[in-house]
Amino acid sequence: MTSRLQDRICIITGAGRGIGRAVALAFAAEGARLVINDVDASAAKEVAAEAESIGARAVINDAPIGSVQSAESVLATALETFGDVDVLVNNAGILRDKMLHTMSEEDFDLVIQVHLKGTWACGRSVVQHWRPAAKKEKEAGELTRYRKIVNVTSPSGLIGAVGQSNYAAAKMGIVGLTKTWAKELGGLQINVNAVSPTALTAMTEPLLEDPVAAEKRLARFALGRYGSPEEIAPTFVYLASADSNYVTGQIVCVDGGLVI
């Protein structure tokens, strides 16, 4: 165990399972204090208990990401429990895959709401909280504290994917948010990057159920396999830590060589 995130207050949305859970536990192992958000409160509680069992402080928040109200709720949990926030990981997500001609308005709106609006709203709330302090520190020549946002996009958000016009649009939108926020916030030493992962989770396991389709899918990965959430998490640690203080506006593919 190292301490690259010692006492950093980190919000992770959708951290009840999958990639978000692995990120939360990797952050805990680095000494972070955690706000574990998930719409599934019992899953969030289990992750909080796991984080506490390795010595981290953790609190849960079960607001459904996708609105300004939920974003404010997550921020309020961080401020009430720990008094501040240093890192925001916008990870919560869902799929509603359908071909364009069969996709309902509801399927389109929900995916855009959770991923794109949710990322925007959480980023906005946290940045509204950060700006006054960061400006004061800058004016005093004391802008030494780092603040970080790590968004989550997808190979679909970089190259598109059949059956995912809602998801690809949302994830491409998150690329736009990442690059725009990096430009808007760099002057206050706020780093904004995104990870484009692929990992075997509840979200992706169904894609491998049919062996023929699975073989075809895995052939597209240079490494020939899906990663585990634990193989994705170290990149989030890097992007949340001082090690990445000179990195901003980047999309980091941790995808076994799917997008090259």
Ligand X SMILES: NC(=O)c1ccc[n+]([C@@H]2O[C@H](COP(=O)([O-])OP(=O)(O)OC[C@H]3O[C@@H](n4cnc5c(N)ncnc54)[C@H](O)[C@@H]3O)[C@@H](O)[C@H]2O)c1
Q: For ligand X, which is the closer residue by CB, 74 or 143? A: 74
Q: How far apart are CA 123 and CA 181, in angstroms?
A: 9
Catalytic residue among 167, 226, 238, 246: 167
- Is the Cβ of residue 123 or residue 197 nearer to ligand X in the bound state? 197
Distances (CA, A) of 257 to 23, 38, 197: 21, 29, 10
Q: How far is the CB of 257 from ligand X (least distance, A)?
A: 14
Rounded to the nearest whole angstrom, what is the least distance from the CB of residue 123 to ligand X in the complex? Answer: 14
- Burial-class residue 141 by CB neighbours within 10 Å (0-12, 13-18, 19+): exposed
Q: From the CB of 199, what's the least distance to ligand X, in Å?
A: 4
Nearest distance from C-beta of residue 82 to ligand X, angstroms: 20
The C-alpha angle with vertex 117 and arms to 111 and 119, in degrees rounded to 5, equals 100
Is 167 assigned a catalytic role? yes
Which residue's Cβ has the minimum distance to ligand X?
18
Handedness of CA 133, 139, 145, 148 (dihedral sign): positive
Is there a contact between 18 and 229 (Cβ–Cβ < 8 Å)?
yes
Shortest Å distance, C-beta 156 to ligand X: 7
CA dihedral 104, 107, 113, 116 (to 10 degrees): -100
Instruction: State which residue, 5 or 254, has the beta carbon closest to ligand X.
Output: 254
**Residue closer to ligand X, measured from CB, 14 or 123:** 14
Reported for 126-129, long-range contacts at CB under 8 A and 24+ positions apart, including other chains, are 126/11, 126/71, 126/75, 126/85, 126/88, 127/181, 127/185, 127/190, 129/75, 129/79, 129/85
Closer residue to ligand X in complex, CB, 154/235 = 154
Binding site for ligand X (CB under 6 A): 13-14, 16-20, 37-40, 43, 64-66, 91-94, 114, 152, 154, 197-199, 201-204
Looking at the Cβ atoms of 164 and 241, the one nearer to ligand X is 164
Calculate Rg over the CA atoms of the chain.
Answer: 18
CB of residue 184 vs ligand X: minimum separation in angstroms?
22
Distance, CA of 81 to chain centre: 21
Query: Which positions are catalytic?
Result: 167
